[in-house]
Amino acid sequence: MLKGKKIIVGVTGSIAAYKAAIFVRLLVKEGAEVKVVMTNSAKDFITPLTLSTLSKNPVYSSFTSGSQGEWNNHVELGLWADAMIIAPASANTIGKIANGLCDNLLLATYLSARCPVFVAPAMDLDMYQHPSVLDNLKKLKNFGNQVIDATHGELASGLVGTGRMAEPEDLVSQLNQFFGSKKKLSGKKVLITAGPTYEAIDPVRFIGNYSTGKMGYALAEKAANQGAEVTLVSGPTHLTIEHPNIKLVRVKSGKEMFAAAEAVYTATDIAIFSAAVADYAPSKIADQKIKKAGDSMEVRLEKTIDIAKTLGAKKQPNQLNIGFALETENEVSHAQGKIKSKNFDLIVLNSLNNAGAGFGHDTNKISIIDKANNIQDFELKSKQEVAEDIINAIIAKLEA
């Protein structure tokens, strides 16, 4: 599965760096094109000449090279790769990745990469179990990186425990599995609504909510990674997304979101309504900024269009509609009611009563309910992991 794949191997300062030679050799043997990026401290454990010889490509370790100071373009490197794997990944490099630091070519390449990134930690057992390292590894997973857990065995310190970098053969197996897995949403067109809507009162004020759009954007990425052609209709948010399978349509109001969603719904196989659309909007929008006058002000509101319900009424038997319910009381019964009233096949329920769930968090705790009232509960997870659970539930529904 690796034949013709372009792989960046990042090597950091760890005694496990000697395994990078075996790993690079195995990748080349599999038919992959390999480029190695090293940190300066990695050179204390293995030479660039060794890895250059095995990879059949120059090894990069600084931003410039050669007598004329040619630039080693980290942006081009990041865009070149089909996958990047940092093996071994030291505690130092893991900490820098987790906190967005960029003081060497490897880190700059990582920040420029648009491909899947794998990280294979290697360190002593107490370092590996330190709360700061565990927290940093959790952050890496939240970013969408895939962490290949260290294994148990004898360590360089002489201690026995978990901290050994996964063996090169296992790393190759992980990459083969990743590239070989069938993309289960290939050929499917997916519509996802995300974020809040802003309903204007006047040119400078609006009615909105605290939705960040993180859940919808994570769903779009996971669906696209499974081969789907995704249209992401997003309300106002600071988030960005770049994926060849994702078309991002930015809107502000509920009316704009409905128009954008309706335009593609008929051709959609799967619609995921994760946006927090305002239930009410001002019946009249002032042309000019409303000046402060008096002790009170009244704004007359009217009900907005229910996007999920309106499109759900047009749903065809070959389409799947998935909704979201953010509740504060009688959560399950309210969610079950929405399944019927909005013609959902699945609904994702989360409660503001659960710590770490709801708007503004990087985590969420959900339950997925189907039309037969089967309920699948999940633990508190990162929104990236929650998105994967939801996409897997959709795939299971398609395959049922």
Residue written as tokens 């993309």?
183
In 10 A of CB 67, how many CB atoms? 5
Half-sphere exposure of 367 (CA within 13 A, CB side): 21
Positive or negative torsion for Cα 323, 371, 311, 264: positive
In 10 A of CB 400, how many CB atoms? 6
- Binding-site sequence positions for CTP: 279, 289, 324, 338, 342
209 is catalytic: yes
Round to whole Å and give the CA distance between 279 and 283: 12
Round to whole Å and give the CA distance between 211 and 199: 14
Round to whole Å and give the CA distance between 371 and 98: 40
Residue 22, token pair as written in the block: 């075996």
Say if CB 218 and CB 361 are below 8 A apart. Answer: no
Q: Of the residues 209, 225, 354, 392, which is catalytic?
A: 209
| Residue count (the chain) | 400
- Binding-site sequence positions: 279, 289, 324, 338, 342
Q: 34-48 burial string, b = 16+ CB within 10 Å, else e?
A: bbbbbbebbbebbeb
Active site residues: 209
